[in-house]
Amino acid sequence: MFKKLVDTVFFLNKTGQDHYGTLRRNIILIMLLITIVPLATMVIVNYFQYRSHLRNQIITPLYAMAEKTRHSFELFLDQRVAIVRFISTTYDFKHLSDEQNIKRILVSIKKEWSGFVDIGLINTQGQLISYAGPYSLLGKNYSEQISFQETQIKGQYISNVFLGFRKYPHIVIAVQHLTEDGQVWMLRVTIDTDFFDNLIASMGLPRETDAFLISKDGVLQTNSIYYGNTLEQFPIQVPIVNFRSNSFIGTDNQNRDILLVSSPFSIAGYTLVIVQPQSVALKSWYALKTEMIVIFFISFAIIIFAIWKMTQILIDRIKSSDQKRENILTELQHAQKLSSIGRLSAGVAHEINNPLAIINEKTGLMSDLIELSTDFKHKEKFIELTAAILNSVERCRKITHRLLGFSKRINIKIEPININLIINEVLDFLGKDILYKRIDIKLLLSESIILIQSDQGLIQQILVNLLSNAFAAVNDLGEVEIETQNMKDGGIRLKISDNGHGIPDNVIKNIFDPFFTTKKEKGTGLGLSITYGIVKKLGGQISVSSEVGKGTVFTIELPDKPNELEVMNEQSEYKDSAD
């Protein structure tokens, strides 16, 4: 009953629910904070560390490859410049002006060095004086060309790639020579760029990787796999910083995510560019990133689940221990209430019993005297009145006896009892009520019921109280069921169920209180509080569950033997009161 009572109180007590809700929320928040925050911080820090580490690891080999290839290009160009410079210092203007001589020179350098297409001697005015090669350029004036002007300023010049008359990509190398007598002239050679393509092909690029040369203004100097052929515009702006290799991670004009490494030349206006799709370049990074994200979310899910489960267990434990505490407190208060009312009742009953005995005796005497007298006028009337007084005295006796019973100052006699037998005796005793109300009694008595050490009289009293209430609750033809069974860990269980009017929630809280009744003049409100006191004295438990309109079940659990201390206390109390 107290469980039910406390449950009801809990149900009604909204603030109690809110308290557990707030507690649950706070525990979850704190646990989330102390687990997820370090986990998330660790993942974020690791993410950035791994990213920069892996990017370095991925970009470094591309840098090395770009630098190495650029060196090969520069070596090639350096050698060509050195050869032209060697010719200009070995032969004088006059010697080179002779077409036969210059042709011989071209033949011999072509034999030794690849790439040379033609060679020409240009005088101070920019006029081509002599020429050896496949074109007829003799007499052409170069004074207006950038190549001529830049050679005059810098002493040497390497041009961007251009398509010659043969529509074949070339570059021009020009070297200026200054004689001791102040004469200035220059040697100009054309070089085909087959070597460029060979060098790029020999880089051993990974799959889907593109490498090519671009000029300072972003014009392709060699063919690119993805961005067009020589002399087309490269669509991405390549940042050039201090002739150092650079990398760039972004999106190209075809919306591909790319990694770009650029390495600018120091001796010419070219930049070597290597482009790799990010899917290839950062493959290992993407795999690691996915793993990290998956691990993070799995850990997150596990943590959330563990926190939720732990909080659930914790809150359940707190709730049940709160409930237990509340039950104990309520039981204690109830027991105290019963005990103090019990003492008071015992005192009152004791005090009233003596005057009652006197009234009884004197009224008896009065009645005898009147009966014996022969001349008394109102004899009949007086005998009727004294009988009414004696009746009332008898009723008062019954009440004082009940009050004494309530105070439990009655002798307890512990002996082995069979509850089934007591039930049958009590039913015999209540036979009239059963017949009168035509109540259907259903007996579900366990045949193997154990004998328990208890007090037969007190158990009879329990049964009479509970059955009387059940009979009062049901209509005519109502049903009352009595069930007994052995409990798993010793003791017996007794259930008395009826299909009566049931007990509303606001009433059930009070039914065990002394003098609480809903029966107006007919009830004393002592039956259940006495029953409760007896059950407790016998070391048992009593509980109730009820549904309005459906019925009520009282369950009593009694141990196989009561707590000896309780019984001894009870008997000593009895002795005290007898004294």
Residues that bind ligand ADP (CB under 6 A): 465, 469-470, 473, 498, 500-501, 503, 507, 511, 516-519, 523-529, 552
Cβ proximity to ligand ADP, 144 vs 521, nearer residue: 521
Task: Find the shortest distance in angstroms from Cβ 399 to ligand ADP.
Answer: 12
Task: Find the shortest distance in angstroms from Cβ 516 to ligand ADP.
Answer: 6
Distance CA(498)–CA(475), nearest Å, equals 10
Phi, psi of 235 (to 5 degrees): -75, -10
Task: Find the shortest distance in angstroms from Cβ 398 to ligand ADP.
Answer: 14
Task: Find the shortest distance in angstroms from Cβ 1 to ligand ADP.
Answer: 11
Task: Find the shortest distance in angstroms from Cβ 374 to ligand ADP.
Answer: 47
Task: Find the shortest distance in angstroms from Cβ 503 to ligand ADP.
Answer: 5
Q: How far is CA 433 from the centre of its chain?
A: 62
Interacting residues of 243 by C-beta distance below 8 A, sequence separation 6+: 264, 265, 266
Cβ proximity to ligand ADP, 130 vs 345, nearer residue: 345
Helix (H, G, I), strand (E, B) or coil at 250: strand
Task: Find the shortest distance in angstroms from Cβ 508 to ligand ADP.
Answer: 8
Q: Can you read off the two tokens belonging to residue 208?
A: 């889907």
Task: Find the shortest distance in angstroms from Cβ 400 to ligand ADP.
Answer: 17
Cβ proximity to ligand ADP, 213 vs 470, nearer residue: 470
Cβ proximity to ligand ADP, 142 vs 406, nearer residue: 406
Distance CA(305)–CA(301), nearest Å, equals 6
Distance CA(202)–CA(366), nearest Å, equals 144
Q: Is the distance from CB of 494 to CB of 483 less than 8 angstroms?
A: yes
Distance CA(162)–CA(117), nearest Å, equals 13
Block residue for tokens 């490494």:
261
Strand 440-445 and strand 415-417: the pairing is unpaired
Task: Find the shortest distance in angstroms from Cβ 534 to ligand ADP.
Answer: 12
Cβ proximity to ligand ADP, 156 vs 517, nearer residue: 517
Cβ proximity to ligand ADP, 159 vs 499, nearer residue: 499
Task: Find the shortest distance in angstroms from Cβ 552 to ligand ADP.
Answer: 4
Distance CA(330)–CA(99), nearest Å, equals 127
Q: Is the distance from CB of 164 to CB of 193 less than 8 angstroms?
A: no
Sort residue 486 into left (φ over 0), alpha (ψ -120 to 50) or beta.
beta
Secondary structure (DSSP) of 76-118: HHHHHHHHHHHHHHHS-HHHHHSHHHHHHHHHHHHHHSTTEEE
Cβ proximity to ligand ADP, 257 vs 440, nearer residue: 440
Cβ proximity to ligand ADP, 160 vs 400, nearer residue: 400
Cβ proximity to ligand ADP, 484 vs 552, nearer residue: 552
Q: Is the distance from CB of 175 to CB of 85 less than 8 angstroms?
A: yes
Cβ proximity to ligand ADP, 262 vs 529, nearer residue: 529
**Residue whose C-alpha is closest to residue 398's, from 356, 429, 355, 351:** 356
Distance CA(347)–CA(351), nearest Å, equals 6
